[in-house]
Amino acid sequence: MAFLNEKDWREMFRLRRTIVRAEQALREIDRTILPDGLCESDLAILERLARKGARPVNGLARQVGLTSGSMTSAVKRLHRRGLVETRRDLEDKRVVWVSVTAQAEEIVEGFSQLRGQALEQVFHKWSERERSILINLLRRARNDAEQAQSAAVQAP
């Protein structure tokens, strides 16, 4: 691996800060349109389930970036509100599956509409090519970061 000079280091940190700040600004938009009583992680769970169907709780936790304890609390909270249903796996009773209710699907659909309108305001001046380039660069950054983390975990 090549050693970078100070200018390159500063540029990489500026790039990282820019990505983080853009994500923070987009999250703030999401927070302003969140349905009443739901937090970001609740919505992430409902969106994932609505899009992908029923999931085991432990796998869902990894997919939305929550610890198992946080996921358990979130699922209980969403269950009390009638937004998810849970059931034990028929073959492995330790596994709990979670799925969304029709009410949750309506909430996710409504939020998606609002988010789409907000994103349209943010990106309406961007060309299709600019959006495509950004998508590809961010995917590349994510893949490279995942590979770097995997290599760091495997290093002695």
Give pLDDT tens digits for 27-71.
999 999 999 889 999 999 999 999 999 999 989 999 999 998 999
Give pLDDT tens digits for 110-155.
999 999 999 999 999 999 999 999 999 999 999 999 999 888 877 6
Does residue 103 contact residue 85 with C-beta atoms inside 8 Å? no
pTM, rounded to two decimals: 0.79
> Yes or no: is domain 34-129 CATH 1.10.10.10?
yes
Does residue 48 contact residue 40 with C-beta atoms inside 8 Å? no
- In the chain, domain spans: 34-129
Lookup: tokens for 16: 């990282």
Q: Which residues of 13-40 are buried (b: 16+ CB within 10 A; e: fewer)?
A: eeeeeeeeeeeeeeeeebeeebbeebee
User: What is the torsion angle, in degrees rounded to the nearest 10, for the CA atoms of residue 139, residue 142, residue 42 and residue 89?
Assistant: 100
